[in-house]
């Protein structure tokens, strides 16, 4: 069952009842879909970690993607939202799902020569109230990059959210919500015990690489 709602649709807001999921339930879904990986990973921040959350493994299942989006979207039923914006590529699926539940458009920010930008004819109307939707927030870097593109376009970021918060959500200057917060160790490359142990380093993401 789909929920279509906008900040101006008070009837939809009053009738929606979402399930209250515990963090244990959320972790179980991540684990059962193979989204929780263990090993030796280099993150987009350059830091190393012994665990990695590959939310694409969760979101490849339409029912799981719909569930996650409903859980995130219900946090924004009491505020006006005009647009959902996500970073490419990890935030596209969950961003589209959340936008559908909020009944607003969804666009994404992608990098051109390393610079976050809007392409494909995407525009952000001046004054538009925007929610940034991520899959995983680690340092908050990609979220802040998206926020900067929105603000430079004249939009107003009213909130941000993600399926998993690895700690970076607290560093943002807007209200932030995640389905679960994970305390996962990260290491500077020069001080990484996994490197010292000779464990193979993997760069996960859309194109997983063994380094």
Q: List the domain boundaries for the chain.
A: 22-210
Both ends of the chain: CA-CA distance in Å?
A: 43
Task: State the SS3 of 69-130.
Answer: HHHHHHHHCCCCCCEEEEECCCCHHHHHHHHHHHCCCEEEEEEECCEEECCCCCCCCCCCEE
pLDDT tens digits, residue range 146-176?
999 999 999 999 999 999 998 888 889 999 9
**Which CATH code, of 3.40.50.2020, 3.30.420.40, 2.102.10.10, 3.40.50.1110, is assigned to 22-210?**
3.40.50.2020
pLDDT at 15: 28
The structure tokens listed for 210 are 């063994």
Q: Would the pLDDT of 205 be above 70?
A: no
Average pLDDT over residues 40-45: 86
Average pLDDT over residues 118-137: 95
Q: What's the pTM?
A: 0.81
Q: Which percentage of the chain shows pLDDT scores above 70?
A: 87
More confident position, 111 or 11: 111
pLDDT at 119: 94
Beta-strand runs (E) in 18-65: 36-42, 48-53
The structure tokens listed for 75 are 């946090």
Looking at residue 200, the DSSP 8-state letter turns out to be P
Q: Distance between CA 69 and CA 92 in Å, rounded?
A: 12
pLDDT at 185: 85
More confident position, 206 or 82: 82
Q: Distance between CA 43 and CA 173 in Å, rounded?
A: 23
Looking at residue 28, the DSSP 8-state letter turns out to be H
- What's the mean pLDDT when you consider all of the chain? 86
Q: Distance between CA 14 and CA 64 in Å, rounded?
A: 24
pLDDT tens digits, residue range 44-67?
778 899 999 999 999 999 999 999
Q: Would the pLDDT of 76 be above 60?
A: yes
């Amino acid at each position: 069952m789909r929920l279509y709602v906008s900040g101006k649709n008070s009837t939809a807001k009053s009738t929606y009842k979402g399930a209250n999921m515990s963090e244990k339930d959320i972790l179980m879904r991540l684990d059962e879909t193979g989204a929780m990986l263990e090993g030796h990973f280099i993150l987009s921040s350059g830091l190393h970690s012994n665990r990695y959350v590959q939310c694409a493994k969760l979101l490849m299942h339409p029912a799981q993607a719909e569930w996650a989006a409903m859980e995130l979207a219900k946090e924004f039923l009491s505020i006006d939202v005009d647009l959902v914006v996500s970073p490419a590529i990890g935030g596209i699926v969950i961003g589209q799902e959340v936008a559908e539940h909020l009944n607003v458009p969804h666009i994404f920010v992608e990098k051109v020569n390393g610079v976050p930008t809007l392409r494909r004819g995407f525009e952000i109307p001046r004054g538009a109230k925007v929610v940034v939707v991520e899959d995983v927030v680690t340092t908050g870097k990609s979220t802040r990059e998206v926020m900067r593109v929105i603000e430079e376009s004249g939009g107003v970021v009213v909130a941000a959210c993600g399926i998993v918060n690895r700690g970076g959500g607290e560093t943002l200057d807007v209200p932030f919500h995640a389905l679960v917060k994970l305390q996962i160790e990260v290491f500077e490359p020069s001080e990484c015990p996994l490197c010292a142990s000779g464990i193979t380093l993997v760069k996960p993401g859309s194109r997983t690489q063994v380094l």
